[in-house]
Amino acid sequence: MKIKSNIGRSFFAGLGVLISLAVHAELPAVSTVYETSVSQHVEASDEAHHKHKASKSQWYFWRSAKQVEVLNEQRDFGEKWTRTDKGIIFYQAIYHDKKFILDFQPVDLKLLGQKTNWETQSTLVSSGLLAQLKKTSTSKFKQYKKVSYEGLVSGVHYKVEWLPELKIPYRIEKHEQNNKRIVTQLSELNSFDKIAHKPLDSEEYEAMDYSDIGDNESHPIVANLQNNKGISYFHDH
């Protein structure tokens, strides 16, 4: 049985702007809420009319020294990456509505063709992308420096407002060639000692290794997950 998951396409590939930081870079702990809106103008069969599609969603993002966790707006599905002291990364798909966790070992992710670079999961804008954009201005967001970038990369127009002290974006605007516009903006920023939104407690959830699902197809939750697409991680939003 194959569970239809979008792991690695990542809410963390749609924006196509993942980070590639130095391996030993220190990332500050953050607790945030982002809002992503997607709009697209589509030509209808009648050339005199056009259709406009739009969607909007919020999602939660927590980052600490050894963990990155995300949660969708409905708070029924999340993802967690945990890094060991030796730099080994483990991934969990957390079905909060079913109180069930699928554990993926590093070998599982490798077999699935999923890259497990810690920095890739830790932020939303790649240093490689920023290097190709032109710095346009510098301003402030609260007490933090905010640097604005803009430019065309591979046919896609980007506007990025970056918070270098926190190593997260304040805003990303992306215009694709198919009249699709994706805007992701920080809506809440909280300190870890005063978290307004906490990750859901999953300590008592039933857990199963991904490698064992083939032997548990009759399990009621596993059977239900067969047609579950998963979260598609927030970069697709």
Q: Where are the beta strands (DSSP E) in the chain?
A: 30-43, 50-63, 67-72, 77-83, 89-95, 100-104, 134-141, 144-153, 156-163, 168-175, 180-190, 206-209
Residue 221: CB partners within 8 Å, gap ≥ 6? 95, 98, 100, 206
Query: The whole model's pTM is what?
Result: 0.79
Q: Where are the domains of the chain?
A: 30-210
HSE-CB for 201 with a 13 A CA cutoff: 2
C-alpha closest to that of 146 among 171, 127, 123: 171
pLDDT for res 87? 87
Distance, CA of 18 to chain centre: 9
pLDDT for res 181? 94
Q: Find out whether 163 and 141 touch, Cβ atoms under 8 Å.
A: yes
The residues with which 38 forms a beta bridge, in sequence order, are: 55, 182
Domain 30-210, CATH = 2.50.20
Kindly list the distances between the CA atom of residue 168 and the CA atoms of 13, 19, 81, 120, in Å, as whole numbers in the listed order: 16, 10, 17, 12
DSSP-derived secondary structure letter, 66: S
Residue 32: CB partners within 8 Å, gap ≥ 6? 60, 61, 62, 168, 186, 188, 189, 190
Distance CA 94, CA 225 (A): 12
DSSP string, 123-165: -SS-HHHHHHSEEEEEEEETTEEEEEEEEEETTEEEEEEEETT
Distance CA 205, CA 94 (A): 9
- Per-residue model confidence as pLDDT tens for the chain (237 residues): 444 444 444 444 333 333 333 334 578 999 999 999 999 877 665 555 566 678 899 999 999 989 999 999 999 999 999 999 898 999 999 999 999 999 999 998 888 887 776 776 788 887 888 999 999 999 999 999 999 999 999 999 999 999 999 999 999 999 998 889 999 999 999 876 666 788 999 999 999 998 898 888 888 888 777 555 443 333 333
pLDDT for res 101? 94
